[in-house]
């Protein structure tokens, strides 16, 4: 199970490109509205109907990945929600992979989860990556945490997550399919 958290103002490309790719790879991906309604509005006015409400996620039992898309004010809304922090804490305690793109690595960084790890974020948010080793790569995985720079690498981010969860061969197959190679 993969959970993708959608807070009001999330960056649509950063959330939906990886969701699409991971579903193509056969992963069970559940979009989760961080709020009280299933409809979540993205940063660019695209309304998305999430699969579940965050209040319905009692725990991460069976989860393989918890993903946080960036965008503003989506990232601030993720960071302000105690239920998001509860899920992140549970992910760390249960060895569930974490992934964050664009501004969203700040949510992990502010909790000290990137200290000593190679990580990347959208330019200007580096100050929130407390103790991280800033990467020169646009997508980087260090241990159980994957971070990515921004919307322009959302497909590469999604393919990296597929490689981690399903293997390189599956990621290559999905990549060839979408790039029509």
Mean pLDDT of 70-86: 97
17-31 per-position pLDDT tens digit: 999 999 999 999 999
Task: Look at residues 117, 65, 68 and name the one whose alpha carbon lies nearest to residue 92.
Answer: 65
Dihedral sign from CA coordinates of 159, 165, 166, 168: positive
* pLDDT value, residue 126: 95
Say what the pLDDT of residue 181 is.
67
What domains sit in the chain, N to C, each tagged with a CATH number? 2-170 (3.40.50.880)
Q: What token pair was written down for 1?
A: 């199970």
**Per-residue pLDDT tens digits for 38-56:** 999 999 999 999 999 999 9
Mean pLDDT, rounded, for 154-179: 97
What does the block give as tokens for 99? 């992934």
User: What is the reported pLDDT for 92?
Assistant: 97
Contacts of 20 (CB under 8 A, 6+ apart): 158
The percent of residues in the chain predicted with pLDDT above 90, rounded, is 98
| 37 pLDDT above the threshold of 80 | yes
CA distances from 149 to 14, 97, 155 (A): 10, 18, 12
pLDDT of residue 20: 98
Residue 36 predicted with pLDDT over 70: yes
Q: Which residue has the tokens 């020169």?
A: 136
Q: Cα–Cα distance between 13 and 22 in angstroms, integer?
A: 14
pLDDT tens per residue, range 126-153 = 999 999 999 999 999 999 999 999 999 9
- Confidence band (pLDDT; 50, 70, 90) for 11? very high
Confidence class of residue 180 from pLDDT cuts 50, 70 and 90?
A: confident
């Amino acid at each position: 199970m993969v959970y993708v958290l959608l807070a009001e103002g999330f960056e649509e490309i950063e959330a939906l490109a990886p969701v699409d790719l991971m579903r193509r790879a056969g992963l069970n991906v559940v979009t989760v509205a961080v709020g009280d309604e299933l409809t979540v509005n993205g940063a660019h006015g695209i309304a998305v109907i999430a699969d579940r409400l965050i209040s319905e996620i009692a725990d991460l039992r069976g989860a393989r990945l918890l993903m946080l898309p960036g965008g503003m004010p989506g990232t601030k809304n993720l960071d302000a929600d105690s239920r998001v922090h509860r899920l992140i804490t549970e992910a760390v305690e249960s060895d569930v992979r974490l992934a964050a793109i664009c501004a969203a690595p700040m949510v992990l960084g502010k909790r000290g989860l990137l200290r000593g790890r190679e990580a990347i974020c959208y330019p200007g948010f580096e100050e929130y990556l407390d103790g991280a080793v800033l990467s020169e790569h646009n997508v980087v995985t260090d241990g159980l945490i994957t971070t990515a720079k921004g919307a322009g690498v959302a497909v590469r981010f999604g393919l990296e997550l597929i490689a981690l969860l399903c293997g390189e061969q599956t990621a290559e197959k999905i990549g060839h399919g979408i790039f029509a190679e």
